[in-house]
Structure 1
Amino acid sequence: MTDPAPVELQYLDQPSDEHPDAIPLVVIHGLLGSADNWRSHLKVWQTSRRVIAIDLRNHGRSPHAEGMSYAQMSADVLALMDKLSLSRVHLLGHSMGGKVAISLARQNPERVASLVVADIAPVAYEHGHDDVFAALARVKEGQPANRREADDLLAEHVDSRPTRLFLATNLVRSEQGGLTLRVGLDQIRNDYDAIIGLPSGDAAYQGPTLVLRGDESPYVSDAMLPTLREILPSARVVTLKQAGHWLHADQPAAFQQSVDVFLSAQRT
């Protein structure tokens, strides 16, 4: 049986007038995120290179499709790189997007000049999104007329206001005038085990790698570092202070600076 065709991903493309020949940076969001979450960072990074931020399948403006394996998602990204004639890129992935980036780098190292992994390790995690999925399902069922009603529905399952604000980025206005989800919730839930599982690929990625983690996040614990270094042997691990899992939102300046310093040191 042949593998299903890759999904044609939507993306934001920010060219760099000052450095058009620099190796581009491809940014991959995490679970329930989108390219839109990265707009402020793109403006900073495009001063030194072209930046492309991707909407993964079942996220943002990209199509909905069954299957959330890392082999499938990394194939989607590779197909977009081919479409845009990007022979070699720097890859940055946060959370689930970090595992997509690791998968692509392991399977196609010649296409990856360097790798930035934000607050995720190449390990299997426990289930941890039941409340989030329940909250989004409640919004889907409740068909809120406005964002205040949507927040009330989300609050039935999620206490954290910042988390609810993040989830609300997945709401768009429907043709009927109410708010609806643009995320492929059913497809994500159906293959959630793949999302919390291991990245795809068999070989280690030997290229330059920066791993950024938040000091208030459990996603890249010290106990995970030996496994991380087996798969990413060149990784430099940097811990951002006063940052949780959404470290790029908690400490945007420190995050941007860490990425800038790392990329500026890459000469290939």
Structure 2
Amino acid sequence: MQPLVPPGHHGMLVTSRHRLTGLGRMRTVNRLQPDDAVALLEAALKNNNPDDPRVGEDKEAADRLASACGYLPLALQITAALLAQDPGQPLSERADALGGTESVLDGLDDGERSLRTMFDQSLERLTPQEQDLFRLLALNPGPNISTPAAAVLADQPQSATERLLARLAASHLIERTPAVRGRWQMHDLLRAYAHEQATAAMDRGRTPRRRYDQAHDRLIHHYIQHAQAASTHLDPLAVLSRPGSPIGTRRWNGSMPNAKTS
């Protein structure tokens, strides 16, 4: 991008799914807030037909539809385009279709724009190791994952795994969990995409199914060990496999939603 930057005091706004360094100040644009997502959906519908009443008539369905789109602007705009093609379709029907389909990504393609294609472009820029970790992260049963747990999942040293996670975050395929340092989360639509990619890798013979089975087993064993360590710290008289520690208990608190899900 550097050759395109204008000289002197002129400004330039560059948007990218990938973090561009060395061009000046960077701003991360997060997903929309729920009310803003509904407002974008309504604006996109009214841009096609100023008299489109559907958002105003069924706010609850509009909220569900915005949630099904993950509050992502592109997903909302694709959904609005599909609704515009069928002016008689209620928002509730569209929301049910997105929520009930096996792959929600199938419903986010208007023939000209596709959320899956955008994700494909981000994935193709990654190294094979980074792509492999992205697919493996779909195996995590909970809402987020710690760096040590991701290292267990990938069967890689923690330092190397952390570098891979940072690269995925720079490509906006995962993000750091705001509330807890050292944990990472994945958008629901990206999780669905990661599941697709893992299944495709197995179907095409690029990755043996047993590798995913072994990775899943390692991760579950990791969570069990953390549960045992935390239990020992809370109840020293319990007969468990190894002693706990305050650090282990804090780590277990972060991993508890994953263990409950698994």
Q: What TM-score bracket applies, with the shorter chain setting the length? A: under 0.3
Larger helix fraction of residues: 2
> Structure 2 length as normaliser, TM-score?
0.25
Of structures 1 and 2, the one scoring higher in RCO (CA 8 A, sep 6+) is 1
Larger radius of gyration: 2
